Amino acid sequence: MYSAETMRSFSVLLCACVSLEVAGEAMVPSALEAIPAGKAISVAALSGFDFTSVCVLIPYQDRLEANNADMERVNAHLAAIEYAPDEDHWALVLINRTAIEVATFKRSRQLDIMGQAQIGRSAHLLQEKMPPGFVPSTCATTPGAALTKFVHQDRSYVVLGKMP
C-alpha cells in the first residue's frame, strides 16, 4: 500500500489535473467561432469565469510583459503549470483576484489569433474590419474587454481589445 504522504501528494496532483481540465472550459472554441465577423462581443458574455482582466498569448509566447503585480502573478502561474506555447496554439488568460484560468485554443482556418505586432504591420488593411470604437489590446479589463473576429485571406482571426 501507499503511505499517507504519497496518497496526499496523489490527491493534490489529481485535484490540480481536474482544475486544469476545468480551466480549459473557461471559454470554448465554439463560442469564439460563433462571433460574427466585424462585431465586438464582450468577453464576459463568452466566459463562465468571473474575471477582472483578460490577456492574449500568441503562438510561442510563454509570458506577459510584467508591468504590474497581476502580470507577475500570471507569469508565475504560467511557469507553475508549465505552460508550453507552440506554433499551433494560442491562449486567453482570464484573471481575477484569487484565480487565473488559461483557455488554450488550437489554430485553424476557423479560429486563429492576431496579436498586436501583426495588427501593427497590417493596420491599414484591418481598420475597416474592426468594429467602430474597438481598440485592439494585448490585455483588457472588465467591463470593456471584448473580442472581435474578421476574415482575411480565407482565415478567421480573433482579436482581443477594448470597447468603450
| Spatial contact of 82 and 104, defined as CB atoms under 8 Å apart | no
The region of weakest confidence among 26-30, 45-49, 70-74, 92-96 is: 26-30
CA pair distance 9, 66, nearest whole angstrom? 32
Distance CA 27, CA 36 (A): 17
Q: Report domain extents, the chain.
A: 4-162
DSSP structure class, residue 58: -
pLDDT value, residue 128: 78
- pLDDT at residue number 25: 55
Q: Over 90: is that where the pLDDT of 88 sits?
A: yes
Average pLDDT, the chain: 82
List, in sequence order, the alpha helices (H) in 104-145: 116-121, 123-126
pLDDT bin (cut points 50, 70, 90) of residue 125 is low
DSSP letter, residue 98: S
Q: What is the mean pLDDT of residues 134-145?
A: 93
d(CA 44, CA 138): 16
- Global pTM value: 0.80
**pLDDT above 80 (res 21):** no
Helices (H) and strands (E) in the chain, counts: 6, 9
